[in-house]
Structure 1
Amino acid sequence: MITYEPFYETMKSKGITTYKLIKDYNISRSLLDRLKHNKPISTVTLNDLCEMLDCTPSDIIRYTKE
């Protein structure tokens, strides 16, 4: 199962709020909702998030066997 828990941990460690992502980076609320509910995102979106947060994919996603 893929989860986006690391995304929120990375945001917190970098002092970035969801409000800042929406206002400064034009991230949609629907994307944040997809992340919150562990729904699929595209690799393009993953790349964009990595660039915005200056991090790697492992700082955004985590895979664990169910």
Structure 2
Amino acid sequence: MISYKPLQKLLIDREIKKLELLKMTGISSATLAKLNTNEYVSLEIIDKICSALDCQPGDLLEHIPDKK
């Protein structure tokens, strides 16, 4: 599973509201909802966020292994 909790933490640390992120990146609110629920988003979206926040993909997401 992929978790976007690091993105949430980054936004909090930088005091960036989600609406500001939408404006900075041009992503849709539907895409933001996917990020909030750990659903798949394309690398294009990750690239837009990384460019806007001047960070690396590893700063936005983490892999959580299955517990099987």
Gaps of 5+ in 2: none
Identity of aligned residues (%): 29
Moved more, 20-29 or 31-40: 20-29
Q: Superposed, which structure 2 residues align to 1:1-66 within 5 Å?
A: 1-66=1-66
Is 1:11–1:53's contact at 8 Å kept on the other side of the alignment? no
Gaps of 5+ in 1: none
The size of the alignment, in residue pairs, is: 66
**Cα offset, 1:54, TM superposition:** 1.0
Aligned-residue CA RMSD in angstroms?
1.2
Query: Radius of gyration: which is bigger?
Result: 2
Give the TM-score taking structure 1 as reference length.
Answer: 0.88
